[in-house]
């Protein structure tokens, strides 16, 4: 008989550390990660969210924690509030629904991470493209400086 998980503070602490390390890696290795031809993004925060969701399936507040993490991530790194705040809880909810069907081994968690990163990056690209289209349509209405 396993004891229930009691350390509920671990998930936000791990996510905060992952978010800080994500930004540090982006800044320190920017000369190798950011090029005109390609851009590499270290998405450690999303990987940590997926792993915590799979490894802590009984955590009731993971969607709320993901929303807060997405909002903090948006405010510090992207500058467009709402995209990660919407996508991260959506990813956590989908992973929570798929968790009963996933084996808890490193191989299956890695496969789930790759699938999640692909879908998240695609949705992020679509939402950012939509935002750019909307801003270009509103540009004539905005006062010029």
pLDDT tens digits, one per residue of 23-72: 888 888 888 877 778 777 788 999 999 998 888 877 778 899 999 999 99
Q: Whole-prediction pTM value? A: 0.80
**Using 50, 70 and 90 to split pLDDT, how confident is the model at 11?**
confident
Q: CA 67, CA 74: separation in Å to the nearest integer? A: 10
Would the pLDDT of 12 be above 80?
yes
The residues pairing with 34 across neighbouring beta strands, listed in sequence order, are: 39
Q: How confident is the model at residue 18 (pLDDT cuts 50, 70, 90)?
A: very high
């Amino acid at each position: 008989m396993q004891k229930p998980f009691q350390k509920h503070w671990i998930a936000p602490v791990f996510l905060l550390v992952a978010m800080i390390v994500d930004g540090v890696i982006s800044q320190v290795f920017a000369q190798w990660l950011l090029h005109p031809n390609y851009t590499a993004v270290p998405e450690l925060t999303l990987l940590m969210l997926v792993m915590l969701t799979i490894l802590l399936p009984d955590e009731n507040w993971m969607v709320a924690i993901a929303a807060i993490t997405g909002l903090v991530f948006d405010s510090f790194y992207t500058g467009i509030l709402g995209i990660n705040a919407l996508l991260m809880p959506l990813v956590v909810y989908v992973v929570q629904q798929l968790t009963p069907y996933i084996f808890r081994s490193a191989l299956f968690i890695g496969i789930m991470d790759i699938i999640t990163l692909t879908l998240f990056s695609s949705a992020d690209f679509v939402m950012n493209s939509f935002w750019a289209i909307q801003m270009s349509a509103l540009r004539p209405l905005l006062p010029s400086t």
